[in-house]
A and B are shown apart, each in its own frame.
Chain A
Amino acid sequence: MLRFDSSGKPFIIIRDQDQKERLTGSEARKANILAAMTVANLMKTSIGPLGMDKILVDQDGEVTATNDGATILKNMQVENPIAKLLVELSQGQDDEIGDGTTSVVVLAGALLEESLSLLEKGIHPSKISEGYEKACDIAVKHLLKICDKIEFDKENCGSLVKAAKTSLGSKIVNQYTEKIAKISVEAVLAVADLERKDVRFDLIKLEGKTGGTLGDTELIDGIIIPKNFSHPQMPKQIKNAKIAILTCPFEPPKPKTGHKLDIDSVKKYKELLEIEQNYFKEMTDLVKKSGATLVLCQWGFDDEANHLLLQKKLPAVRWVSGTDIELIAIATGARIVPRFSELTEKKLGKAGMVIEKSIGTTDEKMIVIEKCSNTKTVTILVKGGNKMVVEEGKRSIHDALCVTRNLIKDNRIVYGGGAAEISCSVAVNKASKENTGVEQYSIRAFSQALLSVPIALASNSGLNSLEAVSEIQLKQMEKESSFLGIDCLSKGTNNMKEQYVFDTLRGKIQEFLLATQMAKMILKIDDIIRPTGQY
């Protein structure tokens, strides 16, 4: 970026000017759009039930295999600022909705791709943005018109399971969708507050273990802690446990202030020893006195204490993590006790059953706390052949949990399989004709871009994509029904209502809004200043 003044002398205006490059005007716009399109194209193949997975290897050689849009983008470690924007876009969708993370990126990419030809026609980018915004408005209104409601309650949750199944359809777990969908719905319903329409996700714990298949995944009405009892001779099973939760170690107390104890005689040494032993005795006595039958401790035990606990027949678990402690406290109604002297019976938690279980043939053990008195916490134990599968299984279940939660929050749905997009596309296209001027072009472009998701869906399913999409378009217009979509799994019907393929309305609206927002932002940039050579 070397500049010269009128007399031909070079001057330096900005720091390290020679190491910076600058793109302006249409050149900048094209570079940005191309970057966005590259990312979108990369994601296209993982849309839909027959979408493919991607393997990502990070710097440490850690391998992730996934088909979750947000995870792929996050692990790709893109450097291009525009591509980064798309990563954040999908992250935003993930945070808010938890589903549709791939579609949102594909849609944003398609919007930009369409705008490329509009720019070549000489339409001002802000005009394109305005058109997109109008079109998005039309599409969202149309979604509200075509949406359907699904009914469910605590007992009758069949429709929720079906929705969860749609979300799991594209994932690695698809052999076991039925079971996993059921587990996810049960888990959400267990913690959901149907009146306030609120679901607190931190009450659902996802725990993974290698070994077995994904089909062995189970829902535990309680909490799993990946620990074992502190002494092998302690009982492995405790019925009607009264749990004391401690955040102080079974060790002699240490003042926080720096201190030094001078022992200069045998007598003093013996005294000290006695005091120490007294501490242990006192501690275990206090616990026993409170009536506890199980001790969970955030910190470690001294061997001495461990021995005493065994003698007193007090099973104990040490080094329980802070989050687990909190979950257990909530589930069992216990109070977390910071000092032995504060332990009373009232502060104990209650659980119907605590068992130490071992999994598979390995020596790995875990403690399961079931039938908690305040059972609002559940754990999903995900099993799978290897770590990669377990991790991907966890992510898929997370998506299914999100879908169920969203339905509890708002039970309106639109039909999947591209049905909603095609229907909106038709509506937007129709509306474009009511607009005069250049906006008509950009509104029409929006309607074209909406088709990108169904097209990708069809081509991933091995159909002749354009043919399939145009056929549905025609059928939708003829029958004026918005629930016809791509028959990805060749079930012989395009009726998504019958196939029970649907997405949440909230998720779809959010997807449209976020993609439009992103396209507008990228179109508005006409100047890029960046260090040379960095892309």
Chain B
Amino acid sequence: MSHFTPTIVLLKEGTDSSQGKGHLLSNIDACVEIVNTLKTTLGPRGMDKLITNDRGKSTVTNDGATVMRLLDVVHPAVQTLVDIAMSQDSEVGDGTTSVVVFAGEILEQSRSFIKENVHPQTLIKAFRKACFKCRERIKEIAVKSNVEDEKQWNSMLKKCASTAMNSKLIAGHKDAFSDMVVQAVRSLDPEFPEVDLIGIKKVGGGAMEESFLVNGVAFKKTFSYAGFEQQPKKFTTPKIALLNIELELKNEKENAEIRIKDPKEYQKIVEAEWELIYEKLEKIVESGANIVLSRLPIGDLATQYFADRDIFCAGRVEESDMKRLSVITGKQIQSTTNGFTSEMVGECELMEEKQIGSERYNIFTGFEKQGSSTIILRGGAEQFLAESERSLHDAIMVVHRAMLNSNVVAGGGAIEMELSRYLHEYAKTIYGKEQMLISAFAKALEIIPRQISQNAGFDSVDIMNKLRKGHFEKPKENIWMGVDIENEGVCNTMKSFVWEPSLMKLNMISAATDAACLVLSVDETVKSPSLQDNNKISMEGRK
């Protein structure tokens, strides 16, 4: 043999590496594949997914981020799409499906350019430019609502919340829920609104209509010891002590051992232990508190001690609930009873134990300042409640964002069509390849209205034609023309109150562009064999 090229083993055995144009196309295919799974959930007529994991736990959901998480994606390129869904979820809370669908469509549009050997970097450059232009345009046309006018401001927030809930299971009751969500968000401290301070509690049984908002804090009855039932269950203007102390007769130090020489000493040790806890209890009672809440368990001894003195107590209260109470009462959670005085005790107007469905809830209302509220969700089944909670969370996030940034744009595909028109127009003013690429980006934007109408079972081609015509002929008047779900046609979605915070769209467009560009810029994946596969190979090798 004259030419002998030695094989150079560079990578570990079993490593999968693929590269080049073929690889890029394959990545695009994989992304499009997952987008196809997700895109039927978009829009008010979007459908839900039922996903069962290996352990038999099933989830019914319509939330893009949740679907992406549950699918358990391992494909490295598709992973980027999962990441943007997550980032959209944490950043804005809503629009998680749109962002993935849009990113997928950008990739789909760029496929033909890749096949024709356009360099990926050229594509990326053009897309970034288009993205930049879009963001500018959104900022330019977003409608600023009147923050001063309380009534108008409130109704704008409600519109945003109900748009976010449109596609969800709770859409039928969106009026009641958007009211609740807006009230809940507005109850937060306007300077540092923290969404965590809105509690959502799920109680099985009962109809959706029976859900309600507690202007304060509510939590489920905690595990209790004998004696609890003898405590009063209703207080007006109670004093609330928030503790992080274990009120139980117990050994104070682990591993400690006492050696007693004289049997007479024995009693003293016993007494000492009792004194330790009694001292704590006395201090709490002295502070004047009628309600004692602790993160840590409150034992039977303490329960009976409090019952004897007509004090209500609850141990093992969840940390989030304690935090809410701490914020709303303005008092710190105490970790010791040393120096515990009446100043460290919070107040409210009413505390009551109420039966909700088969659960008992402790409800605290009438706080002097605002800062926290709790939504009690009712519904037939666990999955139903879980999905409602996710939907409410989305709506809360949207309202929260809208409060920080009061600009809105019209949904229902209207803003996307306007951006698409704007980009097409802009593309005509430039020379070179970029013109085509920016047009492709503009075309990708159309996926949102198209998918919305497709999911609703409309003739999407017809609707798209109407939208395009409307936007191109009269760009000024028809700026907010979007899909009309009710009447299978087009309408001014700004007027039909399909409103979305502009921040959500801004984030969606940049996140999707980023993800698409990331996928496009990859030309080689080197995948190390997983440990499991590695073992298999070495086992086979031995045979």
Residues of A within 8 A of B (CB): 3, 5-7, 9, 11-16, 24, 28, 32, 79, 81-82, 84-85, 88-89, 91-96, 124-127, 133, 198, 202, 247, 253-263, 268, 271-272, 275, 298, 322-323, 325-327, 329-330, 335-339, 347, 509-510, 513-514, 517-518, 520-521, 524-531, 534
Contacts and interface: CB of A to CB of B under 8 A. Distances in A.
B40 A14 contact: no
A103 B255 CA distance: 58
Nearest to B250: A256
B25 A259 contact: no
Interface string B63-100: 00000000111110010000000000000000000000
B256 A275 contact: no
Give the size category of B's interface with A.
Answer: 35 or more
Interface in B18-61: 22, 25-26, 29-30, 33-34, 37, 40, 44-45, 47-54, 56, 58, 60
Given A521-B384, A525-B48, A271 B206 contact: no
B379 interface: yes
Contact of A272 (B33, B249, B263, B456): B263
Contacts of B249: 256
Contacts of B29: 5-6, 11
B53 to A, nearest CB: 8
Contacts of A263: 263
A117 B511 CA distance: 43
Given A92-B204, A518-B380, 14 more contacts: A7-B26, A16-B72, A88-B380, A124-B456, A198-B355, A255-B270, A256-B251, A259-B257, A326-B230, A336-B304, A337-B304, A524-B169, A526-B40, A531-B53
B263 A514 contact: no
Contacts of A298: 226
Ranked nearest first, the 6 interchain pairs of A and B with the lowest CB-CB distance are: A81-B58, A95-B358, A88-B381, A526-B47, A96-B205, A92-B205
22 contacts: A3-B30, A7-B22, A11-B29, A13-B74, A28-B50, A92-B204, A96-B358, A126-B45, A126-B456, A198-B355, A256-B251, A257-B251, A258-B257, A275-B266, A326-B227, A329-B227, A335-B230, A510-B206, A521-B48, A521-B381, A525-B50, A529-B49
Contacts of B387: 521
A521 B229 CA distance: 39
Contacts of B26: 5-7, 9, 11
B11 interface: no
B260 interface: yes
B30 A326 contact: no
B274 interface: yes
B307 interface: yes
A247 B226 contact: yes
Contacts of B274: 339
Nearest to A19: B54
B9 interface: no
A95 B230 contact: no
B304 A527 contact: no
B273 A257 contact: yes
Nearest to A270: B263
B383 interface: yes
A514 B52 CA distance: 23
Q: Is the interface of B mostly helix, strand, loop or mixed?
A: mixed
B381 A89 contact: yes
B18 to A, nearest CB: 8
B259 interface: yes
A3 B33 contact: yes
Interface of B: 22, 25-26, 29-30, 33-34, 37, 40, 44-45, 47-54, 56, 58, 60, 62, 71-75, 78, 169, 172, 204-209, 225-230, 249-253, 255-264, 266-267, 269-270, 272-274, 300-301, 304-305, 307-308, 355, 357-358, 379-384, 387, 456-457
Given A88-B381, A271-B263, A534-B56, A326 B257 contact: no
Contacts of A326: 226-230
A198 B259 CA distance: 55
Contacts of A254: 270
A322 B301 CA distance: 12
A261 B263 contact: yes
Contacts of B273: 255-257
Point out which of B230, B253, B380, B457 has the most chain A C-beta atoms below 10 A from its C-beta: B380
Contacts of A256: 249-251, 273
A326 B258 CA distance: 35
A449 B40 CA distance: 29
Nearest to A132: B172
Contact of A526 (B48, B54, B255): B48
A253 B47 contact: no
A99 B300 CA distance: 35
Nearest to A82: B50
B530 to A, nearest CB: 11
Contact of A88 (B75, B204, B358): B204
B72 to A, nearest CB: 4
Given A256-B250, A518-B381, A323 B263 contact: no
Given A13-B78, A514-B380, A257 B263 contact: no
Nearest to A341: B274
